[in-house]
């Protein structure tokens, strides 16, 4: 599967999960767990494979994406710490949904077209295969096993530092 198609399909899945959360007909904790695991796995494959592979094409957009991931992860941690009966629950769902929607819009309208033009179908397909396998692995491990605890550090912070070290050692 093409890396961009994979990421777009994951965007649609997350949008559907938000609709379920807002609809109130499903068990909110089960939907929230699936949302958290999906977002953690999605961010992981972008940090580990996609962003490093495309950073030269759109450095400012990729750097902004890391920051948006950090904000979304903190918002998700706050949401996970809030029970569905808490008066802040709906507001936190909405805030996270808006953060994610903004991020998705920028990726799909700005970053993905640049990547599609610059990288071959073969490169995108290979990247997609690796990303899909890693997504399944991280999703199975879950949010708690994937992201740093607490509010002071996010997976985007950790992964961005790893990428900077790889770049320096390769030079």
State the pLDDT confidence band at 26, using cuts at 50, 70 and 90. confident
Q: How many domains, the chain?
A: 1
Please state, in angstroms and rounded to a whole number, the distance separating the CA atoms of residues 163 and 154: 15
Please state, in angstroms and rounded to a whole number, the distance separating the CA atoms of residues 124 and 9: 15
**Cα angle: 130, vertex 133, 138; to 5 degrees:** 120
pLDDT recorded at residue 140: 97
Q: Which tens digits make up the pLDDT trace of 104-161? A: 999 999 999 999 999 999 999 999 999 999 999 999 999 999 987 876 667 776 776 6
DSSP 133-145: HHHHHHHHH-HHH
Mean pLDDT, to the nearest integer, of 90-98?
96
pLDDT recorded at residue 153: 67
pLDDT recorded at residue 163: 67
Domain that holds residue 97: 3-170
CB 103 within 8 A of CB 72: yes
């Amino acid at each position: 599967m093409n890396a961009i198609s994979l990421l777009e399909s994951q965007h649609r899945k997350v949008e559907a999960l938000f609709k379920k959360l807002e609809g109130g007909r499903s068990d909110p904790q089960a939907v929230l767990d699936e949302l958290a695991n999906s977002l953690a796995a999605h961010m992981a494959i972008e940090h580990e494979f996609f962003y490093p592979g495309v950073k030269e094409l759109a450095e400012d957009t990729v750097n902004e994406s890391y920051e948006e991931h950090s904000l979304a992860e903190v918002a998700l941690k706050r949401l996970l710490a809030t029970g569905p009966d808490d008066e802040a629950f709906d507001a936190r769902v909405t805030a996270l949904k808006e953060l994610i929607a903004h991020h998705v819009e920028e990726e799909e309208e700005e970053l993905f077209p640049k990547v599609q033009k610059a990288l071959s179908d073969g490169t995108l397909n290979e990247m997609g295969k690796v990303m899909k396998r890693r997504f399944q692995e991280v999703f199975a491990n879950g949010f708690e096993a994937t992201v740093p605890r607490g509010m002071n550090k996010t997976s985007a912070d950790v992964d961005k530092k790893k990428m900077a070290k790889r770049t320096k050692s390769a030079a």
